[in-house]
Amino acid sequence: MSAAAPTTFAPVTSARPLRVGFLSLTDAAPFAVADRHGLFARRGLRVALQREIGWATIREKIIYGELDAAQVPAPMLWATQLGLASPPCDVLTALVLSLHGNALTLSNALWTAGVRDAATLRTHARTHRARQPLTFGVVFRFSSQHLLLIEWLRAAGLDPECDIRIVIVPPAQMFRHLAAGTIDGYCAGEPWNTLAVREGTGWCPTWSAAQSAGHIEKVLMVTRRFAETRLAEHALLVSALTEAGAWCDAPQNREPLAQLLAEACYLNVSARVIAPALLGKFDCGHGRVESVPDFHVFHRGDINAPTAAKAAVLQRALGAAGLLSPTAASDSEMPRRLFREDLYRDATMITLAAS
């Protein structure tokens, strides 16, 4: 955000504020920053942030008009568009919000049993498969976390369909389930991995920036109807969140960002738990701290642009994981329908005017 006097915009006339959903995750940072730093208000927007409990809830609220826009895992666009486990709804994104931000957390009970990496997990899982298969949590079936877990298990020589049981658990509930022993591990976003490590409940053998560098994590999802009928508000919303993402990526802002996210209205988790991954010092547990400067990426490198090429990569990954039918996975028009770079570029002009 520039030190120069900011451009102000005429208030958008609307009967109610925009209802924008997010989950208690570190990568919800652009929403908190745009809210607290007045980036929505500067553009004449009235925005009501709504913290939701899980991704399925957000999807349903977008479909039925209870939310106007929301932070979502990028694969949710395909699931919602195609009506996979929900009514179909025409959706799109004009903004990639973040890259990376996830990790795989395993229970300390597995560590005690001798698991240290993928190879030792494979041995343990196959030894105990008949008696009690290992159970892993993911946040949503159509999510990067599910894709990452499937890829990691396959690389370890495990069949996700036969050797492991995968269940859906909202991100903020992962730690509690691991502590209670109802799951043996999970793939989720921060700060829920660091919390497990800090509480002595889990440890992390890998994280998403190491496993799949450059993977798209969250996007801003809206219905096509909203994007077309409330074009100005949508562009201003994208502009505000883009500027917020740039602020989030500045190294000098990471510590105050952790303090902001710790507040009860956002994550309601100690800043000491949120800060390490934001500062690029990821605590894997058992004395291992890794330098991961790109653990969270919000803006640099033109990552916010939702290009068709990026969408095509994600679509191929969803097909390879068996989450899309061969017909859907080979639909060459789907990436450009779901990822609208043209709308992003229009909003970029507003961002430049505001800075």
Q: Which residues pair with 220 in a beta bridge?
A: 71
* Cα→Cα distances 227→108, 184, 239, 306, 335, Å: 46, 41, 14, 15, 17
Strand pairing class (288-291; 185-189): unpaired
Residue 13 confidence class, pLDDT cut points 50, 70, 90: low
Q: Is 40 helix (H, G, I), strand (E, B) or coil?
A: helix
For residue 11, the model assigns a pLDDT of 53
State pTM to two decimals. Answer: 0.93
Question: What is the predicted pLDDT for the residue at 2?
Answer: 43
* Rounded mean pLDDT, 198-218: 96
Please tell me the predicted confidence (pLDDT) of residue 14: 61
User: CATH second-level architecture of 18-101+215-354?
Assistant: 3-Layer(aba) Sandwich (3.40)
pLDDT score for 1? 53
> Mean per-residue pLDDT for 216-223?
98
pLDDT of residue 128: 79
pLDDT, average across residues 297-306: 96
Helices (H), the chain: 29-36, 39-42, 55-63, 76-82, 108-112, 118-128, 144-155, 174-180, 192-198, 208-211, 224-229, 231-249, 254-261, 271-278, 308-320, 326-329, 334-338, 341-354
Asked if the domains at 18-101+215-354 and 102-211 fall in one CATH topology, the answer is yes
Q: Where are the domains of the chain?
A: 18-101+215-354, 102-211
Q: If pLDDT is split at 50, 70 and 90, which confidence band does 132 have?
A: confident
Sign of CA dihedral 203, 136, 322, 337: negative
In CATH, 102-211 is 3.30.70.980: no
Query: 292 pLDDT band (50/70/90 cuts)?
Result: very high
Residue with tokens 């298990």: 153
**Does 227 have pLDDT greater than 80?**
yes
Digit-coded pLDDT (tens) for 161-193: 889 999 999 999 999 999 999 999 999 999 999
Whether the predicted pLDDT of 237 surpasses 70: yes
pLDDT at residue number 4: 40
pLDDT at 5 over 70: no
**What pLDDT, on a 0 to 100 scale, did the predictor assign at position 131?**
77
For all residues of the chain together, what is the average pLDDT?
94
Question: Given this model, what pLDDT does residue 349 score?
Answer: 84
Other C-beta atoms within 10 Å of 51: how many?
Answer: 16
What whole-number distance in Å separates Cα of residue 190 and Cα of residue 187? 10
